Amino acid sequence: MPAEREAIVIGGGLIGCSSAFYLAQHGWRVRLLERDTIGAGASSGNCGYICPSHVQPLAVPGAISQTLKTMARRDSPVAVTAPWRPSLIAWLMRFALACRAGKAQRAARGRHALLASSNRLYRELLTGGGLNAQLQDRGLLVAYRHEGPLDRFASTAEMLRGEFGVEVNKLAGAELQDFEPALRDDLAGAWFFPGDADVEPYELLHALVDRLSELGVAIEEGVSVESLEVTGGKLRRLVTNRGDFTAETVVVAAGAETPRFAGPLRCRIPIQPGRGYSLVVDNPVPAPARPIIFEESHVAVTPMAGGMKIGSTMEFAGYNRKPNPARVALLRESTRQHLRGEIGEPRDPVWVGWRPMVYDGVPCIDFAPGASNVIVAAGNGMIGLATAPATGRLVAELASGAEPHIDPAPYSLRRF
């Protein structure tokens, strides 16, 4: 592509940085605008999973009944604490409608394409492909305290093997204890995904920013986009707190805040902020040898060189960053219920952030209906890190008129 073609990316998370990276590789001159600092949103708070196993969306048959059963409990992994505004009610109703077998399977196929592609791309980028971050091939263990949910996952495991080629193995009893001695011996069992991997999110972000600088991407932090001026079916100007900007193509990758741009782009972007938490504690003794998800509480842990990260839970609290102590306590209590070692106090401030949740579990990666030079790339939910490279590559292919490496149809904004 001619070097004079210019693109602006709004949003400095992993989706925005990945979009900037692949646009630059396609020959674009790229300016990356971030309201805060790079990675200040959901990109830095996650547990670092590169997880091709996560093809299933949250909206599956039975999800509503299971969630309603648990929401009355103090330790429910899902909570709604936001005011019941029309946008949240509509999102929850559409989520319920998406909990059908056919829709869930279509969503799984769309997620699988992004996850599988990103898994390959990460292995290229992190093993000699220009990003100075360490990929750890430790697999992912999903542990259960009770036999009922452990056994119910068997049909899902068969689907993952048969339709998506995901390797998954069941472990229980002495076999599980030998495999992961850090787990308590009163657990029902676990499922192990050997094809999954992990990376330290801060390390990945810093490596990506370094590579962007090498590629000549102009990274501008502290730039808040206040409005988009669209006329004649094209975006003509971005109005920011640092002046106005123009470019041939604009990518909106603003995570959970992307819906505020939906008006001028004449489209629906049904993203709700799903608040998540993470904290870091000293590695317990014994420390897990690999990442583990405690499935019934939806809490995840990742052992890292600098300590063990504990994260997840889902709280619909609106655009509110104030930590809820009860949700933080849930993370630590669930970890105590699964691991042998003592779980200490958080070493650093608790991270709180918004995951960009689309009700069908499939990201939005598409040209905006009301502005032919704008691409929306948002809504990757809880698999943002795991799908970032494929999302960014697809954005660059769409912008450049190149053959997409995966079918873009599942991510269309017109499905809403």
Note the pLDDT tens digit of each residue in 154-206.
999 999 999 999 999 999 999 999 999 999 999 999 999 999 999 999 999 99
139 three-state secondary structure: coil
Exposure pattern of 391-413 as b/e (b: 16+ CB <10 Å)? bbbbbbbbbbeeeeebebebbeb
* 138 burial via Cβ count (<10 Å: 0-12, 13-18, 19+): middle
Q: pLDDT below 70 — which residues of the chain?
A: 1-3, 68-75
392, 405 contact by CB (below 8 A): no
**Parallel/antiparallel/unpaired status of strands 249-252 and 6-10:** parallel
Task: Report the pLDDT value the prediction gives residue 71, as an integer from 0 to 100.
Answer: 65
DSSP letters spanning 299-321? EEEEEETTEEEEEEEEEE--S--
How many CA atoms within 13 Å lie on the side-chain side of 29? 8
Task: Report the pLDDT value the prediction gives residue 68, as an integer from 0 to 100.
Answer: 67
Distance CA 302, CA 49 (A): 9
356, 256 contact by CB (below 8 A): yes
Termini Cα distance of the chain: 32
Residue from 266, 313, 310 nearest 81 by CA: 313
Task: Report the pLDDT value the prediction gives residue 129, as an integer from 0 to 100.
Answer: 75
Task: Report the pLDDT value the prediction gives residue 44, as an integer from 0 to 100.
Answer: 82
Beta strands in 35-103 (DSSP E): 49-50, 78-80
Phi, psi at residue 5, to the nearest 5°? -70, 130
Beta strands in 187-306 (DSSP E): 189-193, 197-198, 218-221, 225-231, 234-240, 243-245, 249-252, 271-281, 292-294, 299-304
Distance CA 299, CA 260 (A): 30
Task: Report the pLDDT value the prediction gives residue 1, as an integer from 0 to 100.
Answer: 43
pTM above 0.75, yes or no: yes
Distance CA 191, CA 292 (A): 10
